[in-house]
Amino acid sequence: MNIFIKLLSTSYCYRVLGRLVIPSATGAVVLLLLGLWGGLVMAPADYQQGDGFRIIYVHVPSAFLSMMVYSAMAFFAFLALVFRIKLANCALRASAPIGATFAFLALLTGSLWGKPMWGTWWIWDARLTSELILLFLYLGYMVLDNALRQSGRDSRASCMLVLVGVINIPIIHFSVIWWNTLHQGPSLSAFAKPAIVESMLWPLLVMLGAYICIYGLVLVIRMRMEILKMDMKSAWVKGIL
């Protein structure tokens, strides 16, 4: 319990986060190299898609992380709103652009893969649509938080928006699926759960780990910056700078 109470102090938290930079960076680089080597060199080409399938090693982790980061943000928003933990707010603020980037990357890589495989850059498939809406939700939070900050208000309102969004995500997801089946969408769900061979699977899992490390690394760096911004006028920040 003691360590948790200590972590609530901004200066202590800043130092602890500083110590996490090197390990998470190392983890990210090692796992990334291993995963890319496994995915691009070791894994056999797909019998149908050839080498084109290899984009899965950047696409799936991005899509997964885009959802994971939003869940993390909901958790941070809850902490910030209910327990008034300012550091949770720093983590929330730091996470949003990262999550938005992952959502954008998922859409971009999916689109690049879709052109040769499906013959189109974009299709109103349920998964693509929900990912797009997720990106919009990230942007909505960032816009509101930015406006709040500029007018000198505290960020309770933007925390609330994240929580409202998290209630809406399942509703949006299922309504999009319903909408898609109504229109008799093309059966692209083979993409959803490919019965994937082990030699193709392990690099994917390693890449997933690498992406989580990247999220951790960028989160730690951005959070340190947010903490400095928040405590700009305090003595310990002036001491560091």
Partner 1 sequence: MSANQISHVLKRESLNLIRQPMKVLFPLLFFVLALSLFPLALGDKHNLLMQVAPGVLWLITLFTLLMGLESIFSDDLKQGVLEQYLLIRGSLQSYVYVKLFMHWFTSLLPIIILLPLLAQWFYLPWIVVRILMLTLLLGTPVLLIIGSVGASLALGLGQRGMLLALMVLPLFIPLLIFGNGAVQLVLQGVDATGPLACMGAFFFLALVGGPLVIQKALRWGVEG
Position 157 contacts partner 1 (CB under 8 A): yes
CB-facing half-sphere around the CA of 241: CA atoms within 13 A:
12
What Å distances lie between residue 240 and 68, 220, 225, 227, 232, CA to CA?
Answer: 33, 17, 12, 12, 11
Taking CA atoms, 192 is separated from 53, 148, 227, in Å, by 13, 39, 39
In the complex with partner 1, the residue whose CB is nearer, 58 or 176, is 176
CB 138 within 8 A of CB 103: yes
Q: Which residue has the tokens 């954008």?
A: 104
99 binds partner 1 (CB under 8 A): no
Candidate residues 24, 62, 66, 158; the one interacting with partner 1 per rule CB under 8 A: 158
Min dist CB 82 to partner 1, Å, is: 12
Quickly count helices (H) and strands (E) in the chain: 8, 0
Closer Cβ to partner 1, 43 or 133, answer by number: 133
Examine residue 84 and tell whether it contacts partner 1 (CB under 8 A). Answer: no
Strand partners, 50: 46
Binding to partner 1 by CB under 8 A, coded x per residue (else -) over 181-200, reads: -x------------------
Is residue 39 a contact point for partner 1 (CB under 8 A)? no
User: What residues does 46 pair with on adjacent strands?
Assistant: 50
Residues in 103-142 that interact with partner 1 by CB under 8 A:
133, 136-137, 139-140
By rule CB under 8 A, what count of residues binds partner 1? Answer: 29
Residues that bind partner 1 (CB under 8 A): 133, 136-137, 139-140, 143-144, 147-148, 150-151, 153-154, 156-158, 160-161, 164-165, 167-168, 171-172, 175-176, 178-179, 182
